[in-house]
Structure 1
Amino acid sequence: MSGIVIGVDASRNRSGGAREHLIGILETLDPTAQGITQVHVWSYQALLAVLPNHSWLIKHAVPKLENGLISQLWWQAFNLSSELKKYGCHILFTSDASSLCHFSPSVVLSQDLLSYEPGVMASFAWGRARLRLLTIRYLQNAAFRRASGVIFLTQYAANLIQSICGPLRNTQVIPHGVNPRFFRDSQTIPAEKKVFNAGTKSDPIRCLYISNAALYKYQWVVIEAIGLLRQKGIVIELDLVGGGFGPAQDKIMAQIALTDPQSQFVKKHPFVPHSALVDHLSSADIFIFASGCEAFGITLLEAMAMGLPIASSNRSSIPETLQDGGLYFDPENPAQIAASVDKIILDPALRKQLAHRASQLAKQYSWEHCSNETWGFIMDTYKKIAKQ
């Protein structure tokens, strides 16, 4: 079989994790080894600008993708198939499952669980936000069912989605990778605080939570939990990194006003570039991850790679990634969050054990492995279809 031409629909890759995934699997792709001649990527200009430059990688900027959701879906439904045929693509890789393109054969990547996670839909009042989630679930179910193959990021996601959309004929679980810059060896890990069990005014215990503001991220509950620890006399601070707006942002700001009215220990940072996250992680003592829904927790994995002790939500796919590398809590229970963080603070041996275990688990993940598995699955799927 001669070299294969693969088309990639990256029109809907808007989240940080989705962008990093595409960058990661393209930067580490060896097309010759996979039997690939060319990869064509259709997307919006800002994403194409950060993709690697290779002779085999052809980037197509689509003006309609700079517009809103309706314009994006219209382009997928009525323009993408003809573009794929025009450039001789043998198979389509859809890197976001909310697609209306009917090109065949195709492989779809699932990166969004919001429409499927029990309880998450109910957190959105009836209106535009919930209608959007219902529409996305309908689009994704249709895309999964007509696809020649489906890639999931975790087994949890594979099981949950198929329990709703029905069994799928050709699937594989391929987790995200992690950038090597997030790993640090024992020589670069800062010395532990001399008074970790209570912190000091000049050297407080620093907790970090990286996430956009969303109703299923529960930042306001974490703020309340840190307030409970402050009431116990622990000198502790919380850095919240990630932009946001709407009801979740309002809840965060209201909780800050209630818990820390003098702005002494809760610091809210806007969105920062992915490359800047290493600096935030390096200055943290404890990482808190309170999400209630994750197809795959990429920021969690990055904190694991940094060797931070982690207090984490017990929901969704998170335990599949973190395993025994952290302490768990109910993300809607501030007392449980406070207790988990307090236990990490008071037990030096546990801190060291959790940090080491999390770092070791993170070493199982790489973009090289993710890339090889992803492109290999796409090629295998095409070969099966070609034989029929």
Structure 2
Amino acid sequence: MLKDKAVIDIRWMVGNVRGMGRYAYQLIEPIQNSVTGVGPHNYVCERLPYQTIGNGFFPWWEQYIFPKFIKRQKVARVLCPYNTAPIKKLDAQLILVVHDLIYLKSWRDLPPSVSIYQTLGRIYRRFVVPKVIKNADVLLTVSEFTKSEIVERFAISPEAISVVPNSVNSTWFVDTPRPITGRDNYCLSVAGEAPSKNVKKLIKAFSLAAPDLPSDFTLKLVGIRVSQHEKFKNVAAQFHVEDRVEFVGFVTDSELKKLYRNAKSFVFASLFEGFGIPLIEAMASGTPIACSDTTSMPEVVGNAAVQFDPLDESAIAEALVQVTNNQELAQTLVDFGLERAKLFNEQAVEAQFKAFWNKLDAR
């Protein structure tokens, strides 16, 4: 029996843990001795005591099996750290983490993904999130930008929303970055195939920048599923840069760190971000950044990036040329980035999570 205990949904806390799963582990670190994980059958959580219940279609699990378990066990707190939660009002304190509201964008502003799975997930979140935000007893988000969106869209008091940013661990930080002049001739971008990642426009922008870059300079794209590579290769061919755009398949964390550290530059052309973890990865790696000037991204990078309008291919191209060819600027961005990244190291963010729980327990 878990009466008067806290439970957390562990669906993103198993296997190769990244992004929201890492955030969930950091969230519970200060109270880990009083938290039990809960997930569908066949889920294995190696870092937390857990129970598995039910299985089947995820919405069914979240909206029926999970709340039924909560009621039967009489738990005190329910932590839902991935934007969604049971719609029905619970007899427990609901702590909801909202990472972003991208899925609420209009279909015109953000067309459906090529992935049916992603599109169905977006439809589900569009239905569920507005309801659970209203029901949540405690709201937590990762950026001031997302907080402002929640306040504006749902008329929630700003004082009711806490902000604790994402972080990267110490293994990402370099003491002495590789000299810019000695790095490999490529620009790195970490992005998926979702329309919000703006990859098509980035490829077109790279084609505009290519004449002003070294002839052997390439764009390396990490994060797009192999099944979608051909589609984006066709885009590169359309703009006559098929020989200069490289699609990298799955990489380990170790391989990804090497890609960051050896790159002449990093470009992040996303249209919408609730935070933008690749930006702190790049800053901690000592890689000069060009990124979008929208949503949460300026808040994350501060003065450690050349910023551009992600809807303007010419602006993206100009920024890419600047951070790649101007070595003095690139070195300045490296220095600023390494300092800025310290705001998002694990120790700094752990302190903020402790403050979050202390404030909550003092209510």
> Counterpart of 1:158?
147
1:21 pairs with 2:23: yes
> Counterpart of 1:241?
222
One-letter amino acid of the structure 1 residue matched with residue 276 of structure 2:
G
Matches for 1:91-130 after TM superposition, within 5 Å: 91-100=77-86, 102-103=89-90, 104-117=92-105, 122-124=109-111
Alpha-carbon separation, structure 1, partners of 2:258 and 2:213: 28
For residues 289-323 of structure 1, what are the alpha-carbon distances to aligned partners after superposition, in whole Å with 9 as ceiling and x for unaligned?
01111111111111111111100011111001011
How far off its partner does 1:149 sit? Answer: 0.9
Contact 2:30 2:357 in 1 (8 A): no
The one of 149, 153, 168 equivalent to 1:178 is 168
Alpha-carbon separation, structure 1, partners of 2:146 and 2:264: 30
The one of 292, 302, 311 equivalent to 1:313 is 292
Matches for 1:267-282 after TM superposition, within 5 Å: 267-282=246-261
How far off its partner does 1:17 sit? Answer: 1.4
Alpha-carbon separation, structure 2, partners of 1:268 and 1:159: 35
For residues 116-138 of structure 1, what are the alpha-carbon distances to aligned partners after superposition, in whole Å with 9 as ceiling and x for unaligned?
45x67533159977675354133
RMSD: 3.1
1:226 pairs with 2:206: yes
> Counterpart of 2:327?
348
For residues 25-60 of structure 1, what are the alpha-carbon distances to aligned partners after superposition, in whole Å with 9 as ceiling and x for unaligned?
45xx244xxxx64211123578744x52xxxx3122
Alpha-carbon separation, structure 2, partners of 1:173 and 1:346: 37
> Counterpart of 1:207?
187
- Number of equivalent positions: 353
The one of 45, 52, 57 equivalent to 1:61 is 52
1:89 pairs with 2:59: no
> Counterpart of 2:316?
337
> Counterpart of 2:129?
140
**Counterpart of 1:150 in 2: which secondary structure?**
strand
One-letter amino acid of the structure 1 residue matched with residue 294 of structure 2:
R
Alpha-carbon separation, structure 2, partners of 1:240 and 1:338: 16
> Counterpart of 2:9?
9
Q: Which moved more, 1:338-347 or 1:272-281?
A: 272-281
> Counterpart of 1:287?
266
Alpha-carbon separation, structure 2, partners of 1:209 and 1:320: 19
1:43 pairs with 2:32: no
One-letter amino acid of the structure 2 residue matched with residue 20 of structure 1:
R
Alpha-carbon separation, structure 1, partners of 2:237 and 2:189: 18
Identity within the alignment, %? 20
How far off its partner does 1:251 sit? Answer: 5.2
Contact 1:182 1:305 in 2 (8 A): yes
> Counterpart of 1:197?
none
> Counterpart of 1:198?
none
One-letter amino acid of the structure 1 residue matched with residue 321 of structure 2:
D
**Aligned CA distance change for structure 1 residues 100 and 250 (closer, same or farther; 3 Å):** farther
Alpha-carbon separation, structure 2, partners of 1:350 and 1:371: 32
Contact 2:54 2:61 in 1 (8 A): no
**Counterpart of 1:282 in 2: which secondary structure?**
helix
For residues 183-216 of structure 1, what are the alpha-carbon distances to aligned partners after superposition, in whole Å with 9 as ceiling and x for unaligned?
0012xx223326xxxxxxxx86210001111111
> Counterpart of 1:200?
none
**Aligned CA distance change for structure 1 residues 22 and 121 (closer, same or farther; 3 Å):** farther
Contact 2:174 2:286 in 1 (8 A): yes
1:255 pairs with 2:243: no
**Counterpart of 2:220 in 1: which secondary structure?**
strand
How far off its partner does 1:12 sit? Answer: 6.2
**Counterpart of 1:364 in 2: which secondary structure?**
helix
**Counterpart of 1:97 in 2: which secondary structure?**
coil
**Aligned CA distance change for structure 1 residues 317 and 367 (closer, same or farther; 3 Å):** same
Contact 2:184 2:264 in 1 (8 A): no
Contact 1:4 1:38 in 2 (8 A): no
Alpha-carbon separation, structure 1, partners of 2:83 and 2:240: 41
**Counterpart of 1:338 in 2: which secondary structure?**
helix
One-letter amino acid of the structure 2 residue matched with residue 351 of structure 1:
A
Alpha-carbon separation, structure 2, partners of 1:116 and 1:219: 20
**Aligned CA distance change for structure 1 residues 277 and 62 (closer, same or farther; 3 Å):** farther
Contact 2:180 2:331 in 1 (8 A): no
Structure 2, unaligned runs of 5 or more: none
Q: Which moved more, 1:291-300 or 1:4-13?
A: 4-13
The one of 265, 268, 281 equivalent to 2:244 is 265
Alpha-carbon separation, structure 1, partners of 2:174 and 2:162: 31
How far off its partner does 1:82 sit? Answer: 4.0
Alpha-carbon separation, structure 2, partners of 1:210 and 1:47: 28
TM-score with structure 2 length normalisation?
A: 0.85
Q: Which moved more, 1:169-178 or 1:315-324?
A: 169-178
One-letter amino acid of the structure 1 residue matched with residue 166 of structure 2:
H
Alpha-carbon separation, structure 2, partners of 1:58 and 1:382: 22
Contact 1:307 1:355 in 2 (8 A): yes
For residues 91-118 of structure 1, what are the alpha-carbon distances to aligned partners after superposition, in whole Å with 9 as ceiling and x for unaligned?
111102222253221110001321245x
Alpha-carbon separation, structure 2, partners of 1:359 and 1:291: 22
